[in-house]
Structure 1
Amino acid sequence: MIIRHLPALALLAGLLALPGLPHAQGLDMTKGGPVDITSTDGIEWRQNEQVVIARGDARAIREGVTLRGDRLIARYRPRAGQPASQPANSGALGEGPGGGNEIWRIEAEGNVHINTATDQAQGDRAVYDMDQGVMVLTGKNLKLTTPSDTLTARDSLEYWPNKRMSVARGAAVVVTDDNRRIAADTLVGYFLPEGQTAPAANAAGGTTRNVPGAGSKLDRVEAFGNVEIRTPQEVVRGDRGVYNTTSGMARLLGGVRITRGENQLNGQESIVNMRTGVARLVNTPGSRVQGLIVPNQQSRDAVRVPGMQPQQGQGR
């Protein structure tokens, strides 16, 4: 049976109950009460296919998280250990899938947005796989905006609530509200467990980042491939890196290059204070640091090079 043209239908917990995944931070729809699905152009309920399709400004809402798009597809199945619900005979949707069913996948297509009270993500398509515990956004103009950061990517944005992790792939860039910028081929963000706060000693002098979902806190960001950090004064590049949001310190490894104005320093490891904008090269066994220091450039005061000696033809 197919049910059509239900323009403002709320499908409660019995119909759209999600699997009991552990609570996690982020844009997480795996916890809480019923999922409400609404649309302006109607909802189809395909019993034989175990699919519910909503069209026209379609929205799925649960516990303060809203997923919306031009079309939503919710796929359900019998809950493990329980018999499947019997097909409806009277044509009333309320007699359809009951407490014995659960959603295992939600797909959103066209002008996709995912919102909480403070944060928003957008793309052309979203797939939320409950079995894998991951939501993947793809398409053009991929963006995640929070009160303190803006994250963009070319290929995909992923959310792994069970792992407390998000991944941005392809020309990934995060820009903070104080104009700090980190770019890489891939950026991976890790969140603190619910209720856990950073140690007071590390938190001194800074604030904890907000990320999607109320109460979630970003712990660190790992960057892979063509890493680039920009502060108001410098550009630091390397092969890979990690940024601790609590201490405000970033560490870059492999082919490190620090540029400030016309000054250039090269090495294999760098420590960057993202709050002060001071970067320094670190001595590593078997490698040498090199640099071109242009006379009268103020950047030499903000770039620290341990044991560096000026080479012939270079200024002091």
Structure 2
Amino acid sequence: MRLGLILLAVCCLWLSAAPAWAQAIDLSHGGQITVTARGGFDWDQKAQTVTAHGDAQAVRGNVTVTADRLVAFYRKKPGAAPKATEAASKPGGAIDDTGANEIYRLEAFGHVHIFTATDQAWGDHAVYDIDQAVLVLTGHALRLTTPTDVLTARDEMEYWSKTRMSVGRGDATVTSNDGRRLRADVLVGYSDAPDADKAAPAPKPGTDAVAASGKLRKVDAFGDVVVRTRTETVTGDRGVYVPASGIARIVGNVHITRGQNQLNGAAAIVNMHTGLATMTEAPGARVRGLIVPGENGSGPTKP
């Protein structure tokens, strides 16, 4: 049976300066956090934590966090007067701390799912630093989705709300909804500000979810970079991909492969829309390759 609500008001003066990212996964603003759980709550006044057990859920603004267990870390607001807290131990679990306390950290354990109307993230363990507006996800099957792209990683995922930066570490892959794919040891994605952050009026109901979420602007790739198009595979040491243009630049020990055909060089440009990769060696540099007669389709190109 649901044991009631813990209402943890966390309106901080510094939050008024935080960016209001329309639908992104940002818990650093939005008024009070409401925590509910089927298994009840533990309140540790000495450690200043509230733990929600069993089908736990935290909601702030348009962001929802669900997990097997949630732990909220709180502290007194600077200059806040001491306040009685006996109400926290009463049945129903309501805490009247609207003027004295603020949450600065939220941890989620087990079957973690964080979502808004457009963006979602999954993992086994999540830590959200509200002061820095940074989410760190670890565990198996790490995944972050937006209306246009999917980011996955093996070891860790980070989401920096203030700078609109997503980081995937360990066999990280970003896949667009039209099938374009980029993989590397580390991927760092940067998103544009959504419509609600710009000078124009806030989008009306029914506005395209992509515009409300903020489009992926650029992806930097580091270590064992692999770009796959419909016809070619390009590998290298480092890369940068701009989704709007569909252009990826790969540098360092570059190999372009189509079927049994292969070109090797120092740098390449990949057009993800056309599926063509072009070696871009410096003037006078030599491109090495293996061209197999009879292979279907034209091979990788060079200038």
Q: What TM-score do the two structures reach when normalised by structure 2? A: 0.86
Deviation at 1:287, TM superposition (A): 3.6
- How is 1:85-100 mapped onto 2 (pairs within 5 angstroms)? 85-88=83-86, 91-92=89-90, 94=94, 96-100=96-100
Residue 302 (structure 2) pairs with residue 305 (structure 1): yes
| Counterpart check, 1:131 vs 2:131 | yes
In the alignment, the residues of structure 2 paired with residue 99 and residue 290 of structure 1 have an alpha-carbon distance, to the nearest angstrom, of 69
Which residue among 35, 44, 51 is the counterpart of 1:37? 35
**SS at 2:298 equivalent:** helix
Taking structure 1 as reference, are residues 176 and 209 closer, same or farther at Cα in structure 2, changes over 3 Å only? farther
1:241-267 alpha-carbon deviations (Å, 9 max, x no partner): 011111111111111110000000111
**Which ranges in structure 2 are unaligned for 5 or more consecutive residues?**
199-207
Aligned to 2:153: 153
1:68-125: CA deviations, max 9, x gaps? 1100000011123434434337844556433221111000001111112233211110
Please name the residue that 2:71 is paired with: 73
Once structures 1 and 2 are overlaid, which stretch shifts more, 111-120 or 274-283?
A: 111-120
Q: Are 2:104 and 2:131, in contact at CA under 8 Å, matched by a contact in 1?
A: yes
1:295 deviates by 1.3
Quick check: 2:25–2:63 contact (8 Å CA) kept in 1?
A: yes
Q: Is the 8 A contact 1:209 1:217 kept in 2?
A: no
CA deviation map 1:248-291 (0-9, x unaligned)? 11111111110000000111111111111111010225742111
The letter for the 2-side match of 1:305 is K
Residue by residue, what CA displacement relative to the aligned partner does 1:8-50 show, whole Å, maximum 9, x if unpaired? 314152xx44661612543111121321111101012222321
- What letter is aligned with 1:235? T
Residue from 3, 7, 20 that aligns with 2:3: 7
Q: Is the 8 A contact 2:242 2:248 kept in 1?
A: yes
Offset of 1:192 from its aligned partner? Answer: 1.4
Taking every aligned residue pair, what percent have the same amino acid on both sides? 49
**What are the ranges of 5 or more consecutive residues in structure 1 without an aligned counterpart?**
198-207, 307-316
CA deviation string 1:117-175 (max 9, x = no partner)? 23321111000012332110001111123333222111011001112101000010122
Whole-Å separation in 2 of the counterparts to 1:176 and 1:297: 29
User: For 1:261 and 1:209, how far apart are their aligned partners in 2?
Assistant: 38
Q: Which one-letter code corresponds to 1:165 in the other structure?
A: M
Question: CA contact under 8 A between 1:54 and 1:71: conserved in structure 2?
Answer: yes
Give the secondary-structure state (helix, strand or coil) at the position aligned to 1:300: coil
Aligned partners of 2:8 and 2:95 also within 8 Å: no
How big is the shift at 1:305? 0.3
Q: Give the letter aligned to residue 151 of structure 1.
A: L
The residue type equivalent to 2:110 in the other structure is: G
Letter of the structure 2 residue corresponding to residue 290 of structure 1? R
Measured after TM superposition, the shift of residue 184 of structure 1 is 0.2
| Residues in 2 aligned to 1:73 and 1:172: alpha-carbon distance in whole angstroms | 28
Of residues 232, 235, 243 in structure 2, which corresponds to 1:234?
Answer: 232
Question: Residue type of the partner of 1:184?
Answer: A
TM-score normalised by structure 1 residue count: 0.83
CA 1:39/1:297 → structure 2, altered by over 3 Å: closer, same or farther? Answer: same
Counterpart code for 1:192 = D
- What secondary structure, in the 3-state scheme, does the structure 2 residue paired with 1:80 have? coil
Query: Which residues in structure 2 correspond to 1:1-316 (within 5 Å)?
Result: 7-13=3-9, 16-17=10-11, 20=15, 22-23=18-19, 25=21, 26-88=24-86, 91-92=89-90, 94=94, 96-195=96-195, 210=210, 214-284=212-282, 287-300=285-298, 303-306=300-303
Check conservation: 2:31, 2:61, Cα contact below 8 A. Answer: yes
| Letter paired with 2:220 | E
**Displacement of 1:298:** 3.7
Alignment RMSD: 2.4
Residues 151 and 173 of structure 1 are in contact (CA less than 8 Å); yes or no, is this contact kept in structure 2? yes
